[in-house]
Amino acid sequence: MSTLNLTKNQSLVLDLLSRADQPLSAYTILDRLRDHGFRAPLQVYRALEKLQEMGVVHRLESLNSFVACSHQEEACCSHHGTVAFAICDSCGQVSEFHDHTIDDRLAEWARQKGFKSEKTTIEIRGLCSACAA
Amino acid sequence: MSTLNLTKNQSLVLDLLSRADQPLSAYTILDRLRDHGFRAPLQVYRALEKLQEMGVVHRLESLNSFVACSHQEEACCSHHGTVAFAICDSCGQVSEFHDHTIDDRLAEWARQKGFKSEKTTIEIRGLCSACAA
DNA sequence: TCAATTGATGTAATAACATTACATGCGTTC
DNA sequence: GAACGCATGTAATGTTATTACATCAATTGA
Ligand SMILES: [Zn+2]
Ligand SMILES: [Zn+2]
Ligand SMILES: [Zn+2]
Ligand SMILES: [Zn+2]
């Protein structure tokens, strides 16, 4: 199933996350979708699992929350590899970015150690420019 | 209070983590310290909080678990800055390392965006060399 | 056609992780 | 020794995630 062919529950969750101005927890999503028939956590977690597999939603490990992908298809690369998140602890704004040099350094460390990387998490907590001012 | 002057509860938690061959959750720590008088989660969380402040214990966000610091005081630097963790999903082994280039790239991104970084999490999940073989 | 399969869904119960609130004990300071 | 700071103890609650089981619809292929 592609991004263009989501189930009803998946669409509801993705739409909600896309409109949110900050990460949402699974239970916040549940609460906000009660009017649309959501009754149990599993409905949310199942939708999130699929959306993450599709790469259109990311889990923020340090927040136990989820965001819609805001990865910009920039000129430098086309695929969605490892990304980093900068999370403002004041306003909740999340910036998603990637950096080839970081990727390369992590890959080089893994190569030297014989470590087989499956998934990399990079999250910076702090204050965005607006909130730090 | 320095590393050399821990309270009883802090010592018990740090000793347990230091001897563990994999990350431990707060509740696992609680269970293993019941014989030493631990009765409630808060005893564990309070000790962990202080130990983290001292820098002798780290929280692994992607596992909701904790490890004793294994940072090696190498020739290249003396302070305990941002570190990365490679976590084997098979045997639980955790490798803690740091990379100045990664630090620099993240700092440069933050500088450009005016983001004030407070704490950075880098965790690689995968298979260690022994388990990948 | 219709049984078998697959994948999405619904519901309840439970497990796992973390915090709040309040009380107690125990040194140090003045 | 009163006041204070700080570590501790205990109970209750809040938050996040999973397991188990049942139902439903679309697909498939004998
Ligand atoms: Zn993305
Ligand atoms: Zn902000
Ligand atoms: Zn360390
Ligand atoms: Zn391993």
pLDDT digits (tens, 9 = 90+) for A85-94: 999 999 999 9
- Look at residue B80 in the predicted model and tell me its pLDDT: 72
Beta bridge partner(s), residue A68:
A57
Contacts of B102 in chain A (CB under 8 A): 101-102, 105-106
End-to-end CA distance of chain B: 44
Query: From the CA of B9, how many Å to the nearest CA of chain A?
Result: 26
Torsion angle defined by CA atoms of residues B99, B20, B55 and A60, in that order, rounded to the nearest 10 degrees: 60
* pLDDT band, very low/low/confident/very high, at A28 (cuts 50, 70, 90): very high
Q: Which of A30, A25, A128 is nearest to A67 (CA)?
A: A25
pLDDT digits (tens, 9 = 90+) for A68-81: 999 766 556 766 77
Q: Is the pLDDT of residue A39 over 90?
A: yes
Asked whether strand D has any atom less than 7 Å from the CB of B37, the reply is: yes
Å: A12 CA to C20 C1': 34
Which residue of chain B comes nearest to A133, CA vs CA? B114
Contact at CB, A109 and B126, closer than 8 angstroms: no
Contact at CB, A132 and B114, closer than 8 angstroms: yes
Q: Is A79 exposed, middle or buried (0-12, 13-18, 19+ CB in 10 A)?
A: exposed
Q: Is the pLDDT of residue B75 over 60?
A: no
Å: A6 CA to D5 C1': 57
- Look at residue A133 in the predicted model and tell me its pLDDT: 85
Q: Which domains does chain A have, with CATH numbers?
A: 8-127 (1.10.10.10)
- Look at residue B67 in the predicted model and tell me its pLDDT: 98
Residue B66 and residue B83 in contact, taking contact as beta carbons nearer than 8 Å: no
Å: A43 CA to C3 C1': 29
- Look at residue B74 in the predicted model and tell me its pLDDT: 58
Size of interface A-B (CB pairs under 8 A): 121
- Look at residue A74 in the predicted model and tell me its pLDDT: 58
At CB < 8 A and 24+ separation, what contacts does A42-50 make?
Answer: A43/A9, A44/A13, A46/A9, A47/A7, A47/A9, A47/A10, A47/A12, A47/A13, A47/A14, A48/A13, A50/A1, A50/A7, A50/A10
pLDDT digits (tens, 9 = 90+) for B19-32: 999 999 999 999 99
Predicted TM-score (pTM) of this structure: 0.93
Q: Which bases along strand C come within 7 Å of a protein CB atom? A: 8-13, 16-21
For strand D, list residues 5-24 of chain B whose Cβ lies within 7 Å of it: 7-10
